Amino acid sequence: MRRLPVLLLFSAIFLFLFLSQTYRFQPRIDIRPDIADTLNTLALEALKNLEVPVGAVLLYRDSIIGVGYNTVVRDTVLGGHAEINALNDAHKKNRAVWKQLDPSQMTLYSTYEPCEMCKGAMLNLSIRHAVFEGPKPVWDHIKMSIKSGLYECKKQRLYAPGMQENLFRRHPGYLSK
């Protein structure tokens, strides 16, 4: 009977550490030549600026609506990843209709597996489909899972009653609950 809780705990830890690896068991998909060419061109543009050579495109249904490449060094912006730049480009180009676009019809293609920041941006925008060519090593995923767990254990709330609520109320678009 004592083995069951230990087994459940081990299973939970295993799942936590390796959930991000499930794509390795799925078949690879073919990429349209025009998307492959665009990704390659974008990555080469990043390389010209001595950036990590990563390119990304955001598709809505079958049309490219945003493109990006790494600009961290060029722009001295930590968030200048190809995927974030592709999302920003798509938003700028489609600002008037952005909220009407169905995120389930969006797919982000990248030459390299998106990092945690880029995945976070995609999840925040409800974009669930990512396709990439170069996977990160398994060890990188394990390290990130551990870092994420440590972050969750160490984060704290600020004691400033009502501060954020009062700030939100000043925003003209805020609807209080």
Give the distance between the most distant pair of CA atoms in the chain.
Answer: 61
pLDDT recorded at residue 1: 58
pLDDT recorded at residue 139: 83
**Residue 45 scores a pLDDT above 90:** yes
In the residue annotation, 133 being an active-site residue is answered as: no
- Which residue in the list 83, 116, 152, 165 is annotated as catalytic? 83
pLDDT recorded at residue 177: 54
pLDDT recorded at residue 18: 66
Instruction: Please indicate whether residue 151 or residue 26 has the higher confidence score (pLDDT).
Output: 151
What confidence tens digit (pLDDT) does each residue in 83-108 have? 999 999 999 999 999 999 999 999 99
**Residue 162 scores a pLDDT above 70:** yes
CA nearest 146: which of 16, 31, 30? 16
pLDDT recorded at residue 176: 60
**Residue 79 scores a pLDDT above 60:** yes
Give the count of alpha carbons within 13 A of 106, CB side only: 23
Span 21-38, average pLDDT = 86
Span 156-165, average pLDDT = 89
**Residue 12 scores a pLDDT above 90:** no
What is this structure's pTM? 0.82
Separation CA 128–CA 122 (nearest Å)? 7
Instruction: Please indicate whether residue 141 or residue 110 has the higher confidence score (pLDDT).
Output: 110
pLDDT recorded at residue 173: 84
Span 107-133, average pLDDT = 95
pLDDT recorded at residue 19: 67
The number of helix segments (H) and strand segments (E) in the chain equals 7, 4
